[in-house]
């Protein structure tokens, strides 16, 4: 383990600090959400997945479900359930979390 690093780098809910995702699970940092920039993650934890619905997004029509914090109920983003366009299939089963709704924890700089 490198000196100066303690524990995993985690993203937490902005309201209650419930652990939501690991930095190592980021697929892309180039996503756009309702409140601005967002990250695409392979996994999310401590979340509740809402009802599936068709939603028109910038990349086309998808079946998505809102993702909420399991502790406080804050909507943090969505989960891609289905992509109709073949070029978007890589998103299926992944989570978009809005940067405005998550906070970094355990990110330490080398001194």
Alpha carbons 111 and 27: distance in angstroms, whole number = 28
| Residue 110 in this model has a pLDDT that exceeds 60 | no
- pLDDT score of 7: 65
Supply the CATH classification number for the domain 10-105.
2.170.150.20
Domain ranges of the chain: 10-105
Matching residue, tokens 């695409």:
40
Residues 6+ apart with CB under 8 A from 3: none
Alpha carbons 110 and 92: distance in angstroms, whole number = 36
Q: pTM of the entire structure? A: 0.87
- pLDDT score of 1: 40
- Summarize pLDDT for 5-63 with one digit per residue, the tens: 556 899 999 999 999 999 999 999 999 887 899 999 999 999 999 999 999 988 899 99
Asked whether the beta carbons of 78 and 58 are under 8 A apart, the reply is: no
């Amino acid at each position: 383990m490198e000196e100066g690093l303690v524990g995993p780098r985690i993203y937490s809910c902005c309201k209650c600090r419930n652990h939501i995702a690991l930095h190592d699970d980021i697929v892309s940092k180039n996503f756009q959400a309702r409140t601005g920039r967002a990250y695409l993650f392979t996994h999310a934890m401590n979340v509740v997945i809402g009802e599936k619905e068709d939603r028109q997004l910038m990349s086309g029509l998808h079946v998505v479900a809102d993702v909420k914090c399991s502790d406080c109920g804050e909507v943090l983003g969505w989960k891609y359930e289905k992509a109709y366009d073949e070029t978007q299939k890589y998103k299926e089963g992944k989570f978009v979390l809005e940067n405005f709704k998550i906070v970094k924890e355990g990110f330490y700089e080398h001194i």
